[in-house]
Amino acid sequence: MLDLNNYGITMWNDEKIASFRRTLLAWYDENKRDLPWRRTKNPYHIWVSEIMLQQTQVITVIPYYTRFLEWFPTISDLAKAPEEKILKAWEGLGYYSRVKNMQKAAQQVEEVFSGQFPSHYQDILSLKGIGPYTAGAIASIAFQEPTPAVDGNVMRVLARLFEVDYDIGDPKNIKLFQAIMTRLIDPERPGDFNQAFMDLGTDIESAKNPRPDESPIRFFSGAYLHGTMDKYPIKKPKKKPRPIHLEAFIIQNQKGEYLLEKNTQDKLLGGFWSFPMLEKKVIETQLDLFDTDNSRPVDFKSQKESFLEKYPLKITWSDYTFPLVKHVFSHQKWEVELIEGKALSDQLSSEKVLIWLPEKEFSNYPFATPQKKMWQTYQKIKQEKRAK
């Protein structure tokens, strides 16, 4: 256990900790949100909700949670499901490695734990894609194990309570906040205690526009009592996402079917289908770009030429122009230019995983949000031009 004094944090005495627990839990009992995963102690259901809630708002998660459990009622169902089906279930939630890791973890449960979800923190932590926060949440809520569940919301509340002068965005500092929470957590109601912190951190003690005067724990809060709410938590700004410029090729064959490619390489959207895409960059066809005699222009391949090299088709290109499609990931900012064309034959000899698909079958294939945006933009412009 960390010595909190070494971090400039004076922990409360037992009487004050007990008073804090009573105050927080009394508020939670009166104000807790009625959420579907709070009506169960099933660890599988709680696990699904916790993974979905990572980087995603509650209101968005609820319908996904309900449908996911309808499609995969048991851990065994999830372990055996085709990848395309789990991606379809997750379609639109983003951060798709989450559901892929869930399936791997479900397979671990089947193989290592005989199909029974493990009931202790360390065993839960051993599952693929489950970190200390999720393991603590499941262990405390489903099994009443007094283990802390520390995420950004909880760290924000703790930073204000104890005026913690350490960056909550630095991963190496999480052990400090876990140590504080370990001292505070109620041993009789650990699940409710963790969820009370979560609720407080997402609403009254939120990152933007907190309402400290409404906080049930304001008279325990060092930042509130000392007028330092504007200082805490300490968090360095995130790096801006890197801009990526892409071109997406919307190619139809003579039957009106669309060319789609399965992403088998990129971890970001691996397993999803989309229109073929190439990163938009200049591709040199001459080695000597610095031709000192200026006697000849430097020759560059067009993106269409690059496409035809990777996708050997005969294409008649359209002159339609479409608005840029924009999508922001946590680390990348995509700007996608749409290029339309007609293929003169159906033959697909590329090593890539390609299919011709009619529009009516799009709903049967997993499409990530960027693909959906591209399709919506394409349809809108085509409809507008037909109406003229």
What amino acid positions are annotated as catalytic residues?
Answer: 50
**Is there a contact between 356 and 346 (Cβ–Cβ < 8 Å)?**
yes
* Rounded Cα–Cα distance for residues 132 and 130 (Å): 7
- Which DSSP string corresponds to 204-259? TT-SSS--GGG-TTGGG-HHHHHT-TTT-S--PPPPPPEEEEEEEEEEE-TTS-EE
Non-local (6+) Cβ contacts of 300 within 8 A are 282, 283, 284, 285
Q: Three-state SS for 129? A: coil
* Rounded Cα–Cα distance for residues 54 and 67 (Å): 18
